[in-house]
């Protein structure tokens, strides 16, 4: 119970990695503010958190909307009294060839994945600084931000590269407040969003999803894609005592696809 009596806010927590992160943090003792643009899926995660014996509150929010971000943090603070851990997990993508990316694709991807992460991180820092008890901020980036050739699209890769860079700068500037800021860079992960991207790739290439999955796994040294729980395990580590002196890092969780 390394996170007993801690309070965490997780965005994009209704499904996939966000849900897994919420449940593993709760299993280690944390109470969870569950945020997602889909209120119904957020409610499902909150129910699962409560079944683990933890407190939970549902905070519907669009991470591309600054007013939603501000309201989300205020509601979390009003409910729990403080925040100890913030996990910026919400993100969007779809499979697009470089010649098919439209302005609206670029804008939406960066609105959520880069702008949303930045202002959520900034708002988290404001609360953590005011509390004067330190804290942890964990941004979910991607190996796409490190140049992984199998990315869903160039705009997504650029947005995740931005997350990694922002993590470095935030860690430098927030360290004096005892706030640790790190990023997790998942590789291929078995989520709904990942499945949707794979379906788009299959439609574009003329190959079957099974063929593409086999080709993907053959390139992973460990030989398998991530389960959402693999990402959650790293988030728990960075949130707990083991992450006390770690900041400004971008950790790959990808079975060895990218080794830098």
Spatial separation of the C-alpha atoms in residues 35 and 68, rounded to whole Å: 10
Q: What are phi and psi of 157, to 5 degrees?
A: -60, -45
| Catalytic residue (choose from 95, 148, 156, 177) | 156
Residue 177 appears among annotated catalytic residues = no
As annotated, the active-site residues are 156
């Amino acid at each position: 119970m390394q996170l007993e009596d801690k309070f965490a806010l997780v965005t994009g927590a209704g499904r996939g990695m966000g849900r897994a992160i919420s449940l593993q943090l709760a299993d280690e003792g944390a109470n969870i503010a569950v945020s997602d643009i889909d209120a119904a899926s957020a409610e499902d995660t909150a129910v699962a958190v409560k079944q683990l014996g933890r407190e939970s509150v549902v905070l519907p929010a669009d991470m591309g909307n600054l007013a939603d971000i501000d309201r989300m943090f205020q509601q979390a603070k009003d409910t729990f009294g403080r925040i100890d851990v913030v996990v910026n997990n919400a993100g969007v993508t779809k499979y697009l060839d470089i010649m098919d990316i439209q302005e609206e694709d670029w804008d939406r991807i960066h609105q959520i994945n880069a702008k949303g992460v930045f202002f959520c991180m900034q708002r988290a820092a404001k609360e953590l600084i005011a509390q004067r008890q330190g804290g942890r901020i964990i941004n979910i980036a991607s190996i796409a931000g490190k140049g992984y050739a199998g990315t869903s699209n160039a705009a997504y890769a650029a947005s995740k590269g931005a997350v990694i860079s922002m993590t470095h700068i935030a860690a430098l500037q927030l360290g004096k407040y005892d706030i640790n800021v790190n990023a997790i860079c998942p590789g291929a992960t078995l989520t709904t969003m990942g499945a949707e991207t794979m379906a788009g790739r299959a439609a574009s290439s003329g190959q079957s999803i099974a063929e593409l999955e086999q080709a993907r796994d053959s390139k992973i040294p460990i030989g398998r894609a991530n389960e959402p729980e693999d990402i959650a395990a790293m988030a728990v580590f960075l949130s707990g005592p083991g992450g006390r002196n770690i900041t400004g890092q971008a950790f790959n969780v990808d079975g060895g696809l990218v080794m830098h």
